[in-house]
Structure 1
Amino acid sequence: MRIGLLGTGPWARMAHAPALSEHPGLDFAGVWGRRPDAVKELADLHGTRAYDDVDALLADVDAVAIALPPGVQAELAARAARAGRHLLLDKPLAMTVEEGRGVLDAARDSGVASVVFFTTRFLSGPAAWITEQAGVEGWFTARAQWLGSVFNSDSPFAASPWRQEKGALWDVGPHALSVLLPVLGDVRRVAAAAPGPGDTVHLVLNHAGGASSTLTLSLTAPPAAAGTGVELRGEAGVTLLPESSEGVLPALTRAADALLDAARTGRPHPCDAAFALRITEILATAEAALNDA
Structure 2
Amino acid sequence: MTATKIAIVGVGKIARDQHIPSITRNGAFELSATVSRHSGVDGVENFATIEELLAGRPDVGAVALCMPPQARFDAAWTAIKAGRHVLLEKPPGATVAEVEALIAAARDEGVALFATWHSRYAASVPAAKAWLAKRQVQSARITWKEDVRRWHPGQEWIWQPGGLGVFDPGINALSILTEILPQPVRVTAAELQFPDGRDAPIAAQLQFAGASGETVSADFDWRQTGPQTWNIEIETNDGQLKLSSGGAEMTIDGKVMMQEADSEYDGIYARFAQLVAETSIDVDLAPLVHVADAFMLGRRIVVDAFEM
For the aligned pair, the TM-score class normalised by the smaller chain equals 0.7 to 0.9
Matched AA of 2:65: I
Equivalent residue letter for 2:293 = T
SS in 2 for 1:172: helix
Contact 1:100–1:280 under 8 Å retained in 2: no
Q: Per the alignment, in what secondary structure is the counterpart of residue 107 of structure 1? A: helix
Distance in 2 separating the partners of 1:278 and 1:109: 23
Residue in 1 that maps onto 2:223 = 220
- Return the match for 1:163 from 149, 158, 163: 158
- Aligned-residue CA RMSD in angstroms? 2.4
**Alpha-carbon offset, residue 118 of structure 1:** 2.0
1:156 to partner: Cα distance: 5.5
Q: Distance in 1 between matches of 2:227 and 2:137?
A: 28
Q: 1:242 to 1:227 in 2, by over 3 A?
A: closer
Deviation at 1:210, TM superposition (A): 4.6
TM-score for both structures, normalised by structure 1 = 0.83
Q: How far did 1:237 drift?
A: 1.2
Change in Cα spacing, 1:130 to 1:213, as seen in structure 2 (3 Å) is: same
- Specify the SS of the correspondent of 1:71: helix
Q: Name 1:233's counterpart in structure 2.
A: 235
How far, CA to CA, are the matches of 1:194 and 1:92 in structure 2?
21
> Aligned equivalents of 2:211 and 2:113: distance in 1?
25
Counterpart of 2:143 in structure 1 is 145
Matched, 1:203 2:198: no
Give the 3-state SS of the residue equivalent to 1:140 in structure 2: strand
Q: Does 1:131 align with 2:133?
A: no
- 1:14 is matched with 17
Equivalent of residue 177 in structure 1, options 174, 179, 182: 174
Matched pairs, number: 274
SS at match of 2:131: helix
* C-alpha displacement of 1:262: 1.8
Alignment of 1:19-58 (within 5 A): 19-35=22-38, 38-39=39-40, 42=41, 44=42, 47-58=43-54
Distance across 2 between alignment mates of 1:27 and 1:167? 32
**Structure 1 gap ranges (5+):** none
Identify if the C-alpha distance between structure 1 residues 128 and 217 changes in structure 2 by more than 3 Å, giving closer, same or farther: same
Deviation at 1:24, TM superposition (A): 1.7
What SS does the aligned partner of 2:94 have?
coil
Alignment CA distance shift 1:110-1:136 (3 Å): farther
Does the aligned pair in 1 maintain the 2:114–2:272 contact within 8 Å?
yes
Residue 114 of structure 2 is matched in structure 1 by 115
Distance 2:211 2:272 in 1: 28
More moved, 138-147 vs 70-79: 70-79
Q: Which has the larger radius of gyration?
A: 2
C-alpha deviation, 1:265, in angstroms? 3.1
Do the aligned residues in 1 keep the contact of 2:81 with 2:105 (CA within 8 Å)? yes
Q: Confirm or deny that 1:246 pairs with 2:254.
A: no
Question: 2: CA distance between counterparts of 1:9 and 1:23?
Answer: 20
TM-score (normalizing by structure 2): 0.80
Instruction: Output the CA distance in 1 between the equivalents of 2:62 and 2:234.
Output: 37
What CA distance in whole angstroms lies between the structure 1 residues aligned with 2:286 and 2:108?
18
